[in-house]
Structure 1
Amino acid sequence: MSQLSTHILDTSLGAPAREVAVTLYVLHEKEWLQLASGITNNDGRVTDLWEAGATMPHGLYKLHFDTQEYFERNFTTSFFPFVEIAFYINSHEHYHVPLLLSPFGYSTYRGS
Protein backbone atom coordinates (compact mmCIF):
# COMPACT_ATOMS: atom_id res chain seq x y z
CA MET A 1 0.00 0.00 0.00
CA SER A 2 1.15 3.54 -0.75
CA GLN A 3 2.01 5.80 2.19
CA LEU A 4 -0.29 8.46 0.67
CA SER A 5 -3.88 8.14 -0.52
CA THR A 6 -6.73 10.50 -1.25
CA HIS A 7 -10.36 10.43 -2.23
CA ILE A 8 -13.01 12.95 -3.23
CA LEU A 9 -16.64 12.91 -2.19
CA ASP A 10 -18.97 15.27 -4.02
CA THR A 11 -21.15 16.26 -1.09
CA SER A 12 -23.69 17.97 -3.35
CA LEU A 13 -24.45 14.55 -4.88
CA GLY A 14 -23.50 12.31 -1.99
CA ALA A 15 -21.31 10.36 -4.41
CA PRO A 16 -17.63 9.85 -5.23
CA ALA A 17 -16.10 12.35 -7.66
CA ARG A 18 -14.90 10.17 -10.54
CA GLU A 19 -12.21 10.97 -13.11
CA VAL A 20 -10.70 13.97 -11.30
CA ALA A 21 -7.04 14.67 -12.06
CA VAL A 22 -4.90 14.78 -8.90
CA THR A 23 -1.25 15.88 -8.85
CA LEU A 24 1.25 15.50 -6.00
CA TYR A 25 3.96 18.13 -5.43
CA VAL A 26 6.77 18.56 -2.91
CA LEU A 27 8.33 21.87 -1.87
CA HIS A 28 12.04 21.77 -2.63
CA GLU A 29 14.21 24.88 -2.22
CA LYS A 30 11.20 27.25 -2.47
CA GLU A 31 9.88 25.56 -5.63
CA TRP A 32 7.02 23.09 -6.03
CA LEU A 33 8.21 19.98 -7.88
CA GLN A 34 5.71 17.58 -9.40
CA LEU A 35 6.17 14.04 -8.12
CA ALA A 36 3.18 12.08 -9.37
CA SER A 37 -0.31 12.31 -10.79
CA GLY A 38 -3.38 10.16 -11.03
CA ILE A 39 -7.08 10.11 -11.80
CA THR A 40 -9.76 9.26 -9.24
CA ASN A 41 -11.37 5.88 -9.83
CA ASN A 42 -15.08 4.99 -9.67
CA ASP A 43 -14.89 5.18 -5.88
CA GLY A 44 -13.33 8.68 -6.07
CA ARG A 45 -9.97 7.36 -4.86
CA VAL A 46 -6.34 7.59 -5.89
CA THR A 47 -4.37 5.02 -3.94
CA ASP A 48 -1.04 4.91 -5.76
CA LEU A 49 0.40 8.44 -5.73
CA TRP A 50 3.52 7.05 -4.07
CA GLU A 51 5.25 3.75 -4.71
CA ALA A 52 3.80 0.98 -2.56
CA GLY A 53 6.05 0.18 0.39
CA ALA A 54 8.32 3.18 -0.20
CA THR A 55 8.72 5.81 2.51
CA MET A 56 8.09 9.45 1.65
CA PRO A 57 10.81 11.86 2.79
CA HIS A 58 9.73 14.30 5.49
CA GLY A 59 8.68 17.62 4.03
CA LEU A 60 5.92 19.90 2.79
CA TYR A 61 3.67 18.42 0.09
CA LYS A 62 0.53 19.49 -1.70
CA LEU A 63 -2.21 17.81 -3.66
CA HIS A 64 -3.73 19.70 -6.60
CA PHE A 65 -7.27 18.64 -7.60
CA ASP A 66 -8.56 19.74 -11.03
CA THR A 67 -12.16 20.37 -9.96
CA GLN A 68 -13.23 22.64 -12.84
CA GLU A 69 -13.06 19.88 -15.44
CA TYR A 70 -15.04 17.58 -13.14
CA PHE A 71 -17.85 20.10 -12.63
CA GLU A 72 -17.94 21.08 -16.32
CA ARG A 73 -18.35 17.40 -17.25
CA ASN A 74 -21.32 17.29 -14.88
CA PHE A 75 -22.84 20.54 -16.25
CA THR A 76 -22.35 22.29 -12.92
CA THR A 77 -21.12 25.82 -12.31
CA SER A 78 -18.36 25.91 -9.71
CA PHE A 79 -16.64 28.72 -7.84
CA PHE A 80 -13.29 26.91 -7.48
CA PRO A 81 -11.38 25.94 -10.66
CA PHE A 82 -9.03 23.83 -8.53
CA VAL A 83 -8.34 22.91 -4.93
CA GLU A 84 -4.87 22.65 -3.40
CA ILE A 85 -4.21 21.06 -0.03
CA ALA A 86 -0.78 21.53 1.55
CA PHE A 87 0.34 19.19 4.34
CA TYR A 88 3.44 17.97 6.14
CA ILE A 89 4.77 14.43 6.00
CA ASN A 90 6.75 13.99 9.21
CA SER A 91 6.48 10.30 10.02
CA HIS A 92 6.38 6.93 8.32
CA GLU A 93 2.65 6.52 9.01
CA HIS A 94 0.01 6.28 6.31
CA TYR A 95 -1.43 9.65 5.23
CA HIS A 96 -4.94 9.82 3.82
CA VAL A 97 -6.07 13.26 2.57
CA PRO A 98 -9.79 13.30 1.72
CA LEU A 99 -11.53 16.16 -0.09
CA LEU A 100 -15.22 16.86 0.58
CA LEU A 101 -16.30 18.88 -2.41
CA SER A 102 -19.31 20.90 -3.55
CA PRO A 103 -19.63 23.55 -6.27
CA PHE A 104 -19.21 26.42 -3.79
CA GLY A 105 -17.17 24.96 -0.94
CA TYR A 106 -14.81 22.24 0.18
CA SER A 107 -13.26 20.83 3.33
CA THR A 108 -10.55 18.37 4.21
CA TYR A 109 -9.00 16.60 7.16
CA ARG A 110 -6.35 14.01 7.89
CA GLY A 111 -8.04 10.70 7.42
CA SER A 112 -6.93 7.21 8.33
Structure 2
Amino acid sequence: MAEGYLTTHVLDTARGCPAAGIRILLYRVSGNSHRKIAEAVTNADGRTDQPILDKAAFKTGTYELIFEAGPYLTASGVAAEDPRFLDSIPIRFGMSEADSHYHVPLLLSPFGYSTYRGS
Protein backbone atom coordinates (compact mmCIF):
# COMPACT_ATOMS: atom_id res chain seq x y z
CA MET A 1 0.00 0.00 0.00
CA ALA A 2 1.33 3.43 -0.93
CA GLU A 3 2.32 5.67 1.95
CA GLY A 4 3.74 8.55 -0.07
CA TYR A 5 2.48 12.11 0.04
CA LEU A 6 3.18 15.53 -1.46
CA THR A 7 3.73 18.87 0.24
CA THR A 8 4.74 22.30 -0.99
CA HIS A 9 5.38 25.79 0.22
CA VAL A 10 6.25 29.19 -1.25
CA LEU A 11 8.94 31.57 -0.04
CA ASP A 12 9.19 35.14 -1.30
CA THR A 13 12.95 35.48 -1.78
CA ALA A 14 12.72 39.17 -2.75
CA ARG A 15 11.11 40.10 0.56
CA GLY A 16 12.63 37.33 2.66
CA CYS A 17 9.36 35.91 3.97
CA PRO A 18 6.76 33.19 3.42
CA ALA A 19 4.29 33.91 0.62
CA ALA A 20 0.76 33.75 2.04
CA GLY A 21 -2.39 33.61 -0.05
CA ILE A 22 -1.03 31.92 -3.19
CA ARG A 23 -3.53 29.62 -4.88
CA ILE A 24 -1.96 26.29 -5.89
CA LEU A 25 -3.49 23.76 -8.28
CA LEU A 26 -2.30 20.16 -8.59
CA TYR A 27 -2.82 18.21 -11.81
CA ARG A 28 -2.11 14.59 -12.64
CA VAL A 29 -0.54 14.43 -16.12
CA SER A 30 -0.92 11.48 -18.47
CA GLY A 31 0.20 12.06 -22.06
CA ASN A 32 -1.61 15.20 -23.21
CA SER A 33 -4.24 14.88 -20.48
CA HIS A 34 -4.23 17.06 -17.36
CA ARG A 35 -6.72 16.29 -14.59
CA LYS A 36 -7.02 18.64 -11.62
CA ILE A 37 -6.95 16.61 -8.43
CA ALA A 38 -6.35 19.19 -5.70
CA GLU A 39 -6.35 22.89 -4.92
CA ALA A 40 -5.07 24.79 -1.90
CA VAL A 41 -4.00 28.25 -0.74
CA THR A 42 -0.81 29.01 1.19
CA ASN A 43 -1.21 30.06 4.81
CA ALA A 44 0.79 32.67 6.77
CA ASP A 45 3.77 30.28 6.81
CA GLY A 46 3.67 29.95 3.00
CA ARG A 47 2.53 26.33 3.33
CA THR A 48 -0.72 24.52 2.70
CA ASP A 49 -2.66 23.49 5.81
CA GLN A 50 -2.66 19.85 4.70
CA PRO A 51 -0.48 17.89 2.26
CA ILE A 52 -1.60 18.87 -1.23
CA LEU A 53 -1.73 15.14 -2.01
CA ASP A 54 -2.26 12.98 1.05
CA LYS A 55 -1.36 9.33 1.63
CA ALA A 56 -4.85 8.08 0.74
CA ALA A 57 -4.78 9.73 -2.72
CA PHE A 58 -1.09 9.25 -3.51
CA LYS A 59 -0.11 7.46 -6.74
CA THR A 60 3.20 7.46 -8.53
CA GLY A 61 3.22 9.30 -11.85
CA THR A 62 3.70 12.70 -13.44
CA TYR A 63 2.18 15.76 -11.82
CA GLU A 64 2.08 19.51 -12.30
CA LEU A 65 1.78 22.14 -9.62
CA ILE A 66 0.57 25.53 -10.84
CA PHE A 67 1.30 28.44 -8.53
CA GLU A 68 -0.94 31.47 -9.17
CA ALA A 69 1.73 34.04 -8.25
CA GLY A 70 0.39 37.12 -10.10
CA PRO A 71 -2.22 38.19 -7.53
CA TYR A 72 0.30 37.68 -4.71
CA LEU A 73 2.92 39.81 -6.48
CA THR A 74 0.36 42.57 -7.07
CA ALA A 75 -0.79 42.48 -3.43
CA SER A 76 2.82 42.67 -2.24
CA GLY A 77 3.36 45.91 -4.15
CA VAL A 78 5.11 44.70 -7.30
CA ALA A 79 4.05 46.92 -10.18
CA ALA A 80 1.81 44.99 -12.56
CA GLU A 81 3.07 44.73 -16.11
CA ASP A 82 0.73 43.82 -18.93
CA PRO A 83 1.26 40.96 -19.20
CA ARG A 84 2.99 40.21 -15.93
CA PHE A 85 6.38 38.50 -16.39
CA LEU A 86 5.47 35.77 -13.86
CA ASP A 87 1.82 35.00 -13.31
CA SER A 88 0.95 31.30 -13.33
CA ILE A 89 4.03 29.21 -12.64
CA PRO A 90 3.84 25.53 -13.66
CA ILE A 91 6.22 22.95 -12.25
CA ARG A 92 6.01 19.48 -13.79
CA PHE A 93 7.67 16.64 -11.90
CA GLY A 94 7.53 12.89 -11.44
CA MET A 95 6.96 10.85 -8.31
CA SER A 96 8.31 7.32 -8.71
CA GLU A 97 8.66 6.12 -5.11
CA ALA A 98 5.34 4.92 -3.70
CA ASP A 99 6.38 5.27 -0.07
CA SER A 100 8.19 8.62 -0.14
CA HIS A 101 7.42 12.13 1.00
CA TYR A 102 7.82 14.49 -1.94
CA HIS A 103 8.24 18.17 -1.11
CA VAL A 104 8.23 20.60 -4.05
CA PRO A 105 8.70 24.20 -2.86
CA LEU A 106 8.70 27.39 -4.90
CA LEU A 107 11.25 30.14 -4.22
CA LEU A 108 9.67 33.22 -5.78
CA SER A 109 10.71 36.73 -6.74
CA PRO A 110 9.02 39.07 -9.24
CA PHE A 111 11.35 38.13 -12.09
CA GLY A 112 12.53 34.61 -11.27
CA TYR A 113 11.80 31.42 -9.41
CA SER A 114 13.40 28.11 -8.54
CA THR A 115 12.36 24.79 -7.12
CA TYR A 116 13.93 21.58 -5.86
CA ARG A 117 12.96 18.29 -4.28
CA GLY A 118 12.96 19.06 -0.61
CA SER A 119 12.39 16.98 2.47
Q: Same-fold call, TM > 0.5?
A: yes
Tell me the distance in 2 between the aligned counterparts of 1:38 and 1:23. Answer: 7
**5+ residue gaps, structure 1:** none
Q: Answer yes or no: is 1:87 the counterpart of 2:93.
A: yes
- Does residue 50 in structure 1 map to residue 57 in structure 2? no
Letter in 2 for 1:75: G
TM-score (norm 2): 0.86
1:63-109 deviations in Å (ceiling 9; x for gaps) = 00000010111120352111111110111200000110000000000
Larger-gyration structure (1/2): 2
Say whether residues 1:23 and 2:30 are aligned partners: no
Deviation at 1:55, TM superposition (A): 5.4
From the two aligned structures, give the one with the greater strand fraction.
1
RMSD: 1.7
In 2: Cα distance, 1:2 partner to 1:17 partner: 25
SS at match of 1:71: helix
Aligned partners of 1:2 and 1:49 also within 8 Å: no
> Aligned partners of 1:83 and 1:103: how far apart in 2?
12
Q: Where in structure 1 do 4 or more consecutive aligned residues deviate above 6 Å?
A: none
How is 1:1-112 mapped onto 2 (pairs within 5 angstroms)? 3-46=5-48, 47-51=50-54, 53-54=55-56, 56-77=58-79, 79-91=85-97, 92-112=99-119
Q: Which runs of 5+ in 2 are unaligned?
A: none
Select between 61-70 and 1-10 the one with higher mean Cα deviation: 1-10
> How many equivalent pairs are there?
111
The percent identity for this pair of structures is 41
